[in-house]
Structure 1
Amino acid sequence: MPLIETLTILICLAALFSYVNHRWLQLPMTIGLMAVALVFSLILIGLGKLGMGVEAEAARFIGAIDFNEALMHGMLGFLLFAGALHVKLDELLDLKWVIGTLAVVGTILSSLITGLLGYWLFDLVGLPLPFLYCLLFGALIAPTDPIAVMGVLRQARLPKALELKIVGESLFNDGVGVVIFLVVLNLLPKPAVHPTDVAALFLTEAVGGAALGLALGYLAYRMLKSVDNYQVEILITLALVMGSFLLADWLHTSGPIAVVVAGLLIGNHGRQWAMSASTREHLDNFWELLDELLNAVLFVLIGLEVLVLSFQRPYLLAGLVAIPLVLFARWISIVAQVKAFSLVRAFTDRTITILTWGGLRGGISVALALSLPPGSSRDAVVTITYIVVVFSILGQGLTLSRVLNTEAASRPAGAPVPVE
């Protein structure tokens, strides 16, 4: 199907589902879109069971879309840049050690715990996955998804410092998760890798991506500072995002990290020193609209992806087991880090609860799972990942505010609100 027809169908569905959500459900935008798309997919599956051909046609349409390519090399850069534009750099730097540790150590810990326990638990429910595939699942499901996180936190009304920890971690830990994923993926054909190769890959991806984002962001900043025309300046930011991702791909560095660093630079120094008030207003409106549009298409795609998955009984059982497993692994990694930082920084118990429950998974995990080599193990990992992501967005996303209110209500009357 031609690209324009695919985009037309997706945008029409996104518009229809947005209307249904806004008119009747009134859920947060990203959650509502995915929920309506999921129900729509289940209706199509039901019609298919009745002998109608709509399910097969819809499955062919979704199957023809390369979800991994569309997200990881298409929408992701724009969504990350739009999110990074509004993160205050000085506040982020105040929490740099906490956020950095959550993004690196937390992701590694969570990956290992999920992979090791998953190897045992999946076998118990009748799905004996190879050990390396369990580690791959741990690596792709450990990072919190910045797109899902920022989409839900807009309505959650968390304390500012706590929200910044969750957002800051999610902006950077996907790069760490991708590095772990690539390391384990390289072990599939050759089950031995030298530690120096792992270190070199991490430095190339993470440090190289940050350096590239800083360099290109500074170049764009100088260009923005030399003109005062919002049309030209918006084009410069678009070129920055697309050029950063393309160049990072050529240099084998992390495109997501490059775009986040560039977005932080433009959103802070660029906004303050290189833009007029009129440009800031137009730039914010443009990136907000693009962010909402791409988010709508992405979450509709996630909801429709159920049409092409294999839901065998062992896969379903493994997916249901994976939900508490992933939450447990994140809880352990958060507890370990909070206890360590408690020696130099004050935390409360609700920090652990909200960081655990607020660590949402989303499209990035699904995209990584879909990039695995074809085979039964890949089909199992994709289905398990999808089940965890659906629970994360719908279950955790819809109840995050309630968890926050419960934690607040548990404080004694008159007790001061803690600063996280």
Structure 2
Amino acid sequence: MEGLFEIVVFLAVATLGAALARKLGLLAPIVLVVVGLLLSFVPGFPHVRLDPEMVLVGILPPLLYIAALETSVPAFRHNLRPILLLAVGLVLFTAVVVGLVLHLLLPAVPFAACLALGAVLAPPDAVAATAVARRIGLPRRVVTILEGESLLNDATALVLFRVATLAAVGSAVGVVDVSIEVLRSAGGGIVVGALGALIFGFVHKRISDPLLDNALSLIIPFAVVFAAEEIHASGVVAVVVTGLALGHRLPVLLSAASRLQVAAVWRLVRFLLEGLVFLLVGLQLPDVLEDLDEPAGRIVGVTAAVLGAVFLTRFVWLFPATYLTRLVPRLRMRERKPAKFPLVIGWAGMRGVVTLAAALALPLTLADDAPYPRALFIWLAFAVIVFTLVGQGATLPTVARRLKLPPDDPVQDALSAAGVQQQASRAAQERLDALADTAPAPVVERLRRGVEDRTNLAWERLGGSERETPSQAYGRLRQEMIDAEREVFRAARDSGRIPEEVLVRAYRDLDLEESLLRREIR
């Protein structure tokens, strides 16, 4: 009972923190981390110790899955070069640099242990990157690169972490061992993810009940992770592959009702899990400080050096990776991007809960009882998370505004949408003409007007917002009519003229129409 009470309290605080962030115009991850830090000092507030296994297997998979579902596969494929340079190259570079810095400052600690912490600190957080990038309105291509990096970098970091940890505890690790580990983790994850996409895509295709589709969608990330972990493959890679493949095919796998419900359910799940994750990060401060018994000067010096290494390595890697690769014809990009793009991508290197979970999974002792300040390593992971989330995350909107990144062209988007809508309307008209003899003429004419209205709406969006368009006038008046209809049904229910079930059905139909109206007149 006590555990359930704590979960409810955490979810309530996370919800209130997110609401406060929206009220203040701040980023929710930053507010929730700060709230967690403050609440960690409140006597009597529920205390929870973060379980690394719970984070890596219980919280991360659904968040990665929904992020992959919403990622555009064509855009991901188009930006694969910069994504891999960040998700693989930058993670390895950061891990090695941080490991070297730590080993220079703590020469008694084996380099393998320092490299393990470097792997822990290397990957930016998938949740933070997505939440921050979309919230501040970065250009679509920048968001795609950041999301793609965050989907894949955990796999690189966790494989390196596993190899470095094995070396630190005394296991023999050679080139062959590393190759086998990479092949098993990455290759096995790809195979499991592809099989998961095939199997669950087949099942989705044969389900017509939206509730069953919802239930299956919530099960998929955990089923894929458990299958991958069973063969010691990367669950992160498996979930991402399954999510990308299924997300690309969702329009043909799910019915309209299922797509609407699945999207709504996952929005709620992501909102609650993201809030819970960042709140829990802040609440870990007492546990992190509890075992920390290093001299204050040493803690400050090592922390400053590691923070500097984590921050600078991203920029040191990004500019050569962005511009030197242009010297290779096959890797040359179609368009030259100014320096402000790698600058803002470099600034968006927020770490999150995966970093802390991996740090808590560091071994308790090393081979031959080598010196090993594990508590200091966990503190460093916590400090990097707080510094990057609160420092970089809070200033990223300002940096993006100062750099004046060219926004996506809404006119071009509207023009493209209108052109495709014109083709879609033509196809709908042709189908209607072919079936016109099977329905009464008034029905056919009503459907024909509906197609024309959708086409006109698409072209109206190109006209600017100086005056009210016909579709906006329609939406405004129809909204008033819907409100009047609702009031009549409610009064009829209250007076006993209709049962509750009739009211529910009527409200559902009116709610759906209102939702469509609001989407169309935005």
Query: Does residue 40 of structure 1 match 2:39?
Result: yes
Letter of the 1:10 partner, please give it.
Answer: F
More divergent stretch after superposition (283-292 vs 323-332): 323-332
Query: Does residue 165 of structure 1 match 2:145?
Result: yes
Give, in angstroms, the shift of residue 365 of structure 1: 0.6
Deviation track 1:71-119 (CA, whole Å, cap 9, x = no partner) reads 1111111110111111000111111222123211221112111211232
Deviation track 1:126-145 (CA, whole Å, cap 9, x = no partner) reads x9644222211211111121
- Find the aligned partners of 2:83 and 2:124 in 1 and give their Cα distance: 13
In the TM superposition, 1:307-346 aligns within 5 A as 307-310=286-289, 312=294, 313=296, 314-343=298-327, 344-345=332-333, 346=336
Give, in angstroms, the shift of residue 369 of structure 1: 0.4
Query: Does residue 93 of structure 1 match 2:73?
Result: no
Give, in angstroms, the shift of residue 20 of structure 1: 4.2
Q: Does structure 1 retain, via aligned residues, the 8 Å contact 2:340–2:405?
A: no
Letter of the 1:85 partner, please give it.
Answer: L
- In the superposition, the TM-score normalised over structure 2's length comes to 0.71
Correspondent of 2:347 among 357, 360, 377 = 357
Give, in angstroms, the shift of residue 408 of structure 1: 1.8
- Find the aligned partners of 2:178 and 2:387 in 1 and give their Cα distance: 32
Query: Does residue 153 of structure 1 match 2:133?
Result: yes
Query: Does residue 68 of structure 1 match 2:52?
Result: yes
Deviation track 1:179-207 (CA, whole Å, cap 9, x = no partner) reads 11100000022264110110111111112
In structure 2, do the counterparts of structure 1 residues 186 and 28 end up closer, same or farther at CA, with 3 Å as the change threshold?
same
Q: Does structure 2 retain, via aligned residues, the 8 Å contact 1:21–1:36?
A: no
Q: Does structure 2 retain, via aligned residues, the 8 Å contact 1:37–1:303?
A: yes
In structure 2, do the counterparts of structure 1 residues 317 and 67 end up closer, same or farther at CA, with 3 Å as the change threshold?
farther
- In the superposition, the TM-score normalised over structure 1's length comes to 0.87
Query: Does residue 391 of structure 1 match 2:387?
Result: yes
Letter of the 1:296 partner, please give it.
Answer: G
Letter of the 1:37 partner, please give it.
Answer: G
Letter of the 2:247 partner, please give it.
Answer: G
- Find the aligned partners of 2:16 and 2:82 in 1 and give their Cα distance: 41
- Find the aligned partners of 2:148 and 2:405 in 1 and give their Cα distance: 26
Q: How many residues align?
A: 389
2:279 aligned partner:
300
Give, in angstroms, the shift of residue 2 of structure 1: 5.4
Letter of the 1:154 partner, please give it.
Answer: R
**Greater relative CO, 1 or 2 (CA 8 Å, sep 6+):** 1
Give, in angstroms, the shift of residue 40 of structure 1: 2.4
Letter of the 2:352 partner, please give it.
Answer: G
In the TM superposition, 1:74-89 aligns within 5 A as 74-89=58-73
Q: Does structure 1 retain, via aligned residues, the 8 Å contact 2:101–2:306?
A: no
1:131 aligned partner:
111
In the TM superposition, 1:269-288 aligns within 5 A as 269=249, 271-288=250-267
- Find the aligned partners of 2:342 and 2:181 in 1 and give their Cα distance: 31
The percent of aligned pairs where both chains have the same amino acid is 26
Larger radius of gyration: 2
1:371 aligned partner:
361
Q: CA RMSD in A?
A: 2.1
In structure 2, do the counterparts of structure 1 residues 22 and 161 end up closer, same or farther at CA, with 3 Å as the change threshold?
closer
Q: Does structure 1 retain, via aligned residues, the 8 Å contact 2:159–2:181?
A: yes
- Find the aligned partners of 2:65 and 2:171 in 1 and give their Cα distance: 36
Query: Does residue 185 of structure 1 match 2:165?
Result: yes
Aligned to 2:373, what secondary structure does the other structure show? helix
Letter of the 1:18 partner, please give it.
Answer: A
Q: Does structure 2 retain, via aligned residues, the 8 Å contact 1:319–1:385?
A: no
Q: Which runs of 5+ in 2 are unaligned?
A: 366-371, 407-522
In structure 2, do the counterparts of structure 1 residues 335 and 409 end up closer, same or farther at CA, with 3 Å as the change threshold?
closer
- Find the aligned partners of 1:156 and 1:231 in 2 and give their Cα distance: 34
Q: Does structure 1 retain, via aligned residues, the 8 Å contact 2:15–2:272?
A: no
Q: Does structure 2 retain, via aligned residues, the 8 Å contact 1:210–1:261?
A: yes
- Find the aligned partners of 1:21 and 1:337 in 2 and give their Cα distance: 35
Give, in angstroms, the shift of residue 19 of structure 1: 4.5
Letter of the 1:14 partner, please give it.
Answer: A
Q: Does structure 2 retain, via aligned residues, the 8 Å contact 1:205–1:254?
A: yes
